[in-house]
Amino acid sequence: MNEEVKKTMEIVGLSNGELKEQCPAIFTTTPASHLSQKYSFVPTIQVIEDVKKLGWTPTEATQVKSRTAKTKGKGKHMITFEHEDFKTKDNEKIQMLLINSHDGTSNFQLEIGVFRLVCSNGLVIKDNDMGAVKVRHLGYSFKDITAAVNELVSNIPNVFNKMNKMKETELTEDQMAELALKSACVRFDLEYEKESENLVKMLEIDELLGVDRREDKGNGLYEVFNRVQEKLINGGFEYLNDRTGKYRKARPIKNFQQNTRVNQELWGIAESFIEDAELVA
């Protein structure tokens, strides 16, 4: 393993000062003013400190921009954690994502993610299969968050198993094109069955399937999925703008809510190709 990858494998945690700079909502001391007195407020920093006691280190934090004054600094925010015990031999790291808000839009929610060192890109696992865990604000305790984290951790072997199946599944040229097209429909919020033909006219599917690094070469489902996912999330590919009739470059998805949604739907699409391969076998 080269020195650059070794450095990336090391967990570099954020201090409370860095967390506050990146995500002020973590340190909010009161809920949004429109919430009733029945709302049980739990500061996110308390949850972070509890999660840290369980061996998880916060490495990244972000929040959505508030649209109204009453929810400013109270909206959804996400903290990414890493743990020394959950790394793969293929230079990938399992992450835990904590999502919360103080405006009543969500409970504490934990998700599983995978961070790929080769491209500095993250995947978010489809929660229906891997069990996103929610913790109610009401009656929150260290015991509750411990149980939630343990439940999530119990699903990590399933994530590794799913990833290995993806790596063992080879795709045909037609299947690769289908995966890229279905994935692009998610990015552009289009229905595959109704609007895939129009999407073919909007962009070059081969551009999404292009190989940027040797680690992603080949027709394996995992490699193809990662090539497509990286381009759809990071942008940079060209597509035809219906309104102007001109080509433009897609922008990266920076909003963490959209990023999470798109990632999970792309993961679900990739999973369906494992199921198809198993049916044929």
So what's the pLDDT on residue 7?
Answer: 46
Choice between 56 and 127, residue whose per-residue pLDDT is larger:
56
* Mean confidence (pLDDT) of the chain: 85
So what's the pLDDT on residue 41?
Answer: 74
Distance CA 56, CA 52 (A): 5
So what's the pLDDT on residue 271?
Answer: 92
Among candidate residues 135, 66, 67, the one with its CA nearest the CA of residue 99: 135
So what's the pLDDT on residue 83?
Answer: 93
pTM of the predicted model, to two decimals? Answer: 0.84
So what's the pLDDT on residue 206?
Answer: 92
pLDDT band for position 125 (cuts 50, 70, 90): confident
- CB atoms inside a 10 Å sphere around CB 32: 21
Tokens 């998880």, residue? 56
So what's the pLDDT on residue 96?
Answer: 93
| pLDDT tens digit sequence for 99-110 | 998 877 777 889
So what's the pLDDT on residue 89?
Answer: 62
* Burial of 268: CB neighbours in 10 Å, binned 0-12, 13-18, 19+: middle
Distance CA 229, CA 89 (A): 21
Distance CA 133, CA 270 (A): 22
Among candidate residues 223, 207, 200, 211, the one with its CA nearest the CA of residue 270: 223
